[in-house]
Structure 1
């Protein structure tokens, strides 16, 4: 493993403060991007966990995970947030119980990943743990949480997941739940709670008290704004992009980016093709053909629109076919979003959060094994080594430390 270029979080903050607010400096032409990548601590701020029943469209084309130990090692990725995430579904007692079983299974798999590789992987509960594990030559695994549907209406379960090691918490995924409205309501009305529900407001306060890092990706615009009004700690959008480049509700508007800067938080950019690639007429025609093949309307906003309403025995086949035929973004398009955010609010508020193993991946960055390509593109665009170190991990560690410092236990 590689030595971390910043000796401590405090030292990192001091060093970063001396750098310009905008990306202006150019690395010398002789700079070796691979050497820079080998020196910096690379951290992926959001990835999913594959279970035996996870649809195959989320795995690599040949099968398997994009974030397993061989891929992490090949890409020189030193730390990763693996999320205990559940998808949309019923919110009755049976639906909540099923979601909780999925969440518990993912938590067990994350723990098993560390316990099965004790000399190479360790669980991190603090930013200091990340640097300690890195210094010991281990991949640091941080447990994330996504979608309070698995909690039903029980705010106290946030404490349970925190005790089990979760440190990064996002309240929503696709579909509203009892805590908050989602940026992707599906077939539901655009708003159920007008943003956060009373439970969601309690959750923000409780997460602050625990010292957990609040993840604002996937929230509706109203829920996002209310969370930033309520929180007393910086937040992270762990897997979000720029709405100014791709007008999608999952992406953040410039006003939301500005709000994250004012909050002291971070936006971790995701290589998710649907959120970085501008769909072409040819893309649209190809997907229309696929959609009609499965009994869906040819016209669409998002390529999978309406698929969730198909009968269960037809749904996965349609989604798999659509996934195979969806347009692919490129590494350059991905970094365009990172660039936009860095120029809008400063590179000090930018990071990497892939959302691998849940549909993300672009040409040139389709697994952790290709993480070095991100560094190479950043070097090509003029980012300096200290800026790259901050983008890959320093900014996230700063924000996480600030969230922990706000705890009231």
Structure 2
């Protein structure tokens, strides 16, 4: 059973290696006592590979230094709870919603992505006593050794750079070390797992993006990508890839989840899969419910605007 995630030293693109650390009860007659489990947890360098927390950074009055409540406002991550939970850091996602494949849409996505990257960096700079920007595995280890939380930058959706692949270098310069290809919808780079196939995998531009990521030392994230995109990326990439927040199709048959055969391809490449704890990708609904699905879709459209909401508006949502 996976109990923690650990950053370890080693050779990899950008100096970044992600290794899953598993604890085993095979040698013990019973599960360890909670105090023992916590002691093991504290000895590890523990990270989450997909924090959606940056969506809050543009909201008036919101601070990562305040304790929030998942039951009140939906927020799951902040500095007090990272300390309490023994989480040393992770990848803070620059999530960009899918939009129109037009020059105007590409420019808006570019500007949105750059703004979010700057907001993450400003958060780190403002609270430099407890946070530090991480570009390599050694940066993360050093931060943890000094009692700070490390912040890697990642991109969820390649929409911000699909109009100009030279922007991948721009985002790399801002500190991004992991980039995803798609999100809920297809884009100019490739097919989404939750859209009707257009390219049947990577587009020609998407293949160029894979090569550019390798050149820049950026980890490619195939979460949200179609099965064909995943297989083609594994075949094309010169470095391991990651699925930063996905699930297993054998547990729940959802297109966002990965089959056992494809998981083995990722593993053979030296990559890893981090399990998504979102219930929609873990358990099926009790029965078909079109009315519920329509209501959930409408609700999610509000969720996509959450970064501009006040605290009261977000609680209402």
Both proteins in one fold, TM over 0.5 = yes
**C-alpha spacing 1:63/1:21, structure 2 compared with 1 (3 Å):** closer
Structure 2 unaligned regions, length at least 5: 11-18, 61-68, 307-313
Tell me which protein shows more strand as a share of its residues. 2
| Contact preservation (8 Å) 1:153, 1:199 | no
Aligned to 1:38: 42
**C-alpha spacing 1:42/1:104, structure 2 compared with 1 (3 Å):** same
* C-alpha displacement of 1:163: 0.9
Among candidates 149, 153, 156, match of residue 163 of structure 2: 153
CA distance in structure 1 between the aligned counterparts of 2:163 and 2:131, rounded to whole angstroms: 34
Among candidates 258, 263, 276, match of residue 264 of structure 2: 258
* C-alpha displacement of 1:101: 2.6
Structure 1 unaligned regions, length at least 5: 11-16, 295-302, 309-313, 321-356, 358-409
CA distance in structure 1 between the aligned counterparts of 2:255 and 2:227, rounded to whole angstroms: 8
Give aligned pairs, total: 282
| Contact preservation (8 Å) 2:103, 2:163 | no
**C-alpha spacing 1:210/1:291, structure 2 compared with 1 (3 Å):** closer
| Contact preservation (8 Å) 2:158, 2:179 | no
* C-alpha displacement of 1:20: 10
Q: What is the aligned-residue RMSD (CA, Å)?
A: 3.2
| Contact preservation (8 Å) 2:165, 2:209 | yes
**C-alpha spacing 1:119/1:196, structure 2 compared with 1 (3 Å):** same
Is 2:183 the partner of 1:173? yes
**C-alpha spacing 1:106/1:259, structure 2 compared with 1 (3 Å):** same
| Contact preservation (8 Å) 2:94, 2:116 | yes
Deviations 1:239-268 (A, max 9, x none): 010001111100001111110111111001
Is 2:302 the partner of 1:316? yes
TM-score of the two chains, using structure 1 as the length reference: 0.63
CA distance in structure 2 between the aligned counterparts of 1:139 and 1:240, rounded to whole angstroms: 24
CA distance in structure 2 between the aligned counterparts of 1:75 and 1:20, rounded to whole angstroms: 18
| Contact preservation (8 Å) 1:133, 1:139 | yes
CA distance in structure 1 between the aligned counterparts of 2:257 and 2:39, rounded to whole angstroms: 32
**C-alpha spacing 1:6/1:87, structure 2 compared with 1 (3 Å):** closer
Instruction: Please list, as runs of the form range in 1=range in 2, the aligned pairs for 1:361-372 lying within 5 A after superposition.
Output: none
Aligned to 1:274: 280
CA distance in structure 2 between the aligned counterparts of 1:179 and 1:23, rounded to whole angstroms: 43
CA distance in structure 2 between the aligned counterparts of 1:271 and 1:105, rounded to whole angstroms: 28
Tell me which protein shows more helix as a share of its residues. 1
* C-alpha displacement of 1:83: 1.1
* C-alpha displacement of 1:26: 3.7
CA distance in structure 1 between the aligned counterparts of 2:223 and 2:165, rounded to whole angstroms: 20
Q: Which SS does the other structure have where 1:174 is aligned?
A: coil
Is 2:87 the partner of 1:101? no
Deviates more, 1:91-100 or 1:256-265: 91-100
CA distance in structure 1 between the aligned counterparts of 2:32 and 2:237, rounded to whole angstroms: 45
